[in-house]
Amino acid sequence: MLPLAAGAVVAALGAPTLLYPIDHRPQVTSVVGTYRIGHHHAGLDLTTDDRLDARVLAALDGEVIRIKRGHFGYGRSVYVRHADGLTTVYGHMERFSPALEAVARVAEKAAGAYGFEKNLDPPLPVKRGDTLGIVGTSGTDLVHLHFELRRDNLPIDPLQNGLTIPDTQAPRPTRVLFQPRDASARVEGLLAPLERAVASAGPEPPVSLSGRVGLAVEWADRIDGSARDLEPASLELRIDGVVAHRVRYDRASYAEKNLTEIDYLAERRADASGRFHRMYRDPVDAPAMVAWPGPTVNDLGHLTPGPHRLEVEARDAAGHRGLWEQVVHVVPAADPCPTQSGTLMPRAADAPRLQGTRWFESTLVIPVPEACRPGFRWGATLDGRPLTRPHRFTATETGPALAIDLDPDRDVRLSLAVSADGVPERTGSFEAYSIRPGAEIRVPALGAAFDVGATAVFAPYLVDVSPAPNPGTPALEPVGPLVVFRPTWRPARGPRPLDSAGIG
């Protein structure tokens, strides 16, 4: 990792100077673009060492146009309109200012409930630095202020548009991940992810790659006075000096949901094992927040044989830069051992479920320990016909395996038979279901049925479905097994990608 020289503060031309909106020393715990379930964070979270007496201040001259109160969302919140199409939002307050508390009492009485939304007519004028309320925990569980800056009702990054906070630290890469994406992929000769901690100094050791491999990098940034790792303001991947992928967090969109699932590596977020940013894209339209230059690469599978230099540069809103560099060597993929084409015919009837399977996107990987033994034979059928989908035997960290690239638009009925000298013939079966817009998933063996919404997913993907023990809870008695979908981490566009259509 190389720290680079600091640049000038990044700010929009002509942006007004914003006042830090709390009478407390600056402490930032989340920035625009931070991962949230289903969306990118649209503002700044500012904390106060758990103080509940810190005043919330208007960042600019303007007029209060709306106040809201509720148990969820932004809790007690104030919306202030400014010149040039700007609005600031202040959320999670413990109480409003006296003038706004008087408005809130009238609004509560009119609503007949604790929660209300009140548009002020006429608006209430405020000056830069006027008190709007007190920092609190309404709508959340931690003492902080959620602060947003919007232009024409679109959230933009305050740190890149007029809010200056002391920041002397550059973003730094912490971990890098090379992720296989299909049956031909190899990382250091294996069909397996390779994760490495980034060295604090000196070059990274070279990595050998084959086939379609995706790159993901985890970054940490700090703003002075803040004790939490933050996300950079922008990331850029260069391959041999040419820009291949770029993402920037300068604005957010309420119209698009779950963009985090195609920006961050969703499976690592799902199991809380990292905040890896994907340096490649899925085949979906470029969303409002995440911007790629065109054309862009899906992964590293297009690289020609030989050495290539990868660089990922991160910038924060203050203009500081961090750089990660890596040389990769693209080599031909080698099979673990010679194997014959399928010569056995699997018996579909009563075949046990194949065990130990794993997914790399739409590639199914099946352990086949017999593959490198003398006299090895095998055969597979897909939907009752000989297997014709792209496939190959590969090496994994646990031994030889069969990798099959499957069509994510079609359900899968797979049977496999293998044998070797001195080893009895072994037959297994496997079923997977296509999660695609409008799909009707029926699992007769489990008595389960699910429907997929017409706008539920970014792109089709496959899952396998299996039962699991249902331990219940102290308050709930189990009435049947759990139904487990793998992989559960694939990106979903809609808030409810699966609706239960009936459990037998």
Would you kindly state where each structural domain of the chain is located, as residue ranges?
11-160, 172-330, 358-433, 435-503
Q: Is the pLDDT reported for residue 296 higher than 60?
A: no
Spatial distance between the Cα atoms of 327 and 333, rounded to a whole number of angstroms:
18
User: In the structure, what pLDDT confidence band is assigned to residue 217 with cuts at 50, 70 and 90?
Assistant: very high
- Bridge partners for 95 per DSSP: 134
Contact 361, 405 (CB under 8 A): no
For 160, the 3-state DSSP assignment is helix
Task: Name the region of 318 (left: φ>0; alpha: ψ -120 to 50; beta: rest).
Answer: alpha
Retrieve residue 245's tokens: 């992928």
Amino acid letter for position 483: V
Beta-carbon neighbour count of residue 229 at 10 Å? 15
Spatial distance between the Cα atoms of 209 and 225, rounded to a whole number of angstroms:
41
Q: Is the pLDDT reported for residue 200 higher than 80?
A: no
Q: Which of 195-199, 293-297, 453-457 is the most confident on average? A: 195-199
In whole angstroms, how far apart are CA 429 and each of 411, 416, 440, 469? 14, 6, 22, 21
pLDDT at residue 350 in the model: 66
- For residue 375, what are the contacts with CB-CB under 8 A and spacing of at least 6? 419, 420, 421, 422
Asked if 172-330 and 358-433 have one fold, the answer is no
Where in 340-422 does DSSP place strands (E)? 358-360, 363-367, 377-382, 385-386, 391-396, 399-405, 412-420
For 21, the 3-state DSSP assignment is coil
How much is the mean pLDDT over the chain? 87
- Considering just the CA atoms, what is the radius of gyration of the chain in Å? 27
Q: 11-160: which CATH number, 2.40.270.10, 2.70.70.10, 3.10.20.600, 2.60.120.10?
A: 2.70.70.10
Task: Name the region of 199 (left: φ>0; alpha: ψ -120 to 50; beta: rest).
Answer: beta
Retrieve residue 178's tokens: 């090379």
Q: Please compute the mean of the pLDDT values over residues 154-168 and round it to a whole number.
A: 95
Pick the more confident residue, 124 or 375: 124
Spatial distance between the Cα atoms of 99 and 96, rounded to a whole number of angstroms:
8
Residue keyed to tokens 């942006």: 15
Q: Please compute the mean of the pLDDT values over residues 191-216 and round it to a whole number.
A: 90
Beta-carbon neighbour count of residue 17 at 10 Å? 11
Nearest by Cα to 407 from 388, 392, 430, 379: 388
pTM exceeds 0.85: yes
Q: Please compute the mean of the pLDDT values over residues 173-187 and round it to a whole number.
A: 94
Model pLDDT for residues 448-471, shown as the tens digit of each residue: 888 988 888 878 889 998 888 888
pLDDT at residue 92 in the model: 97
pLDDT at residue 289 in the model: 43
Q: Please compute the mean of the pLDDT values over residues 167-195 and round it to a whole number.
A: 95
User: In the structure, what pLDDT confidence band is assigned to residue 293 with cuts at 50, 70 and 90?
Assistant: very low
Retrieve residue 124's tokens: 């209430």
Least confident of 231-235, 335-339, 498-502: 498-502
CATH of domain 358-433: 2.60.40.10
pLDDT at residue 212 in the model: 92
Q: Is the pLDDT reported for residue 7 higher than 50?
A: no
Nearest by Cα to 361 from 174, 184, 175, 176: 184
Q: Provide the residue count of the chain.
A: 504
User: In the structure, what pLDDT confidence band is assigned to residue 503 with cuts at 50, 70 and 90?
Assistant: very low
CATH T-level topology, domain 172-330? Coagulation Factor XIII; Chain A, domain 1 (2.70.50)
Spatial distance between the Cα atoms of 342 and 416, rounded to a whole number of angstroms:
10
pLDDT at residue 6 in the model: 39
For 107, the 3-state DSSP assignment is helix
pLDDT at residue 366 in the model: 95
Model pLDDT for residues 348-379, shown as the tens digit of each residue: 556 788 899 999 888 999 999 999 888 888 99
Spatial distance between the Cα atoms of 501 and 55, rounded to a whole number of angstroms:
50
Spatial distance between the Cα atoms of 489 and 491, rounded to a whole number of angstroms:
6
Model pLDDT for residues 32-84, shown as the tens digit of each residue: 999 887 788 999 999 999 999 999 999 999 999 999 999 999 999 999 999 99
Model pLDDT for residues 201-210, shown as the tens digit of each residue: 677 889 999 9
Nearest by Cα to 280 from 182, 419, 163: 182
Spatial distance between the Cα atoms of 463 and 362, rounded to a whole number of angstroms:
9
Contact 223, 26 (CB under 8 A): yes
What are the start-end ranges of the H helices in 252-348? 260-263, 266-270
Q: Is the pLDDT reported for residue 294 higher than 50?
A: no
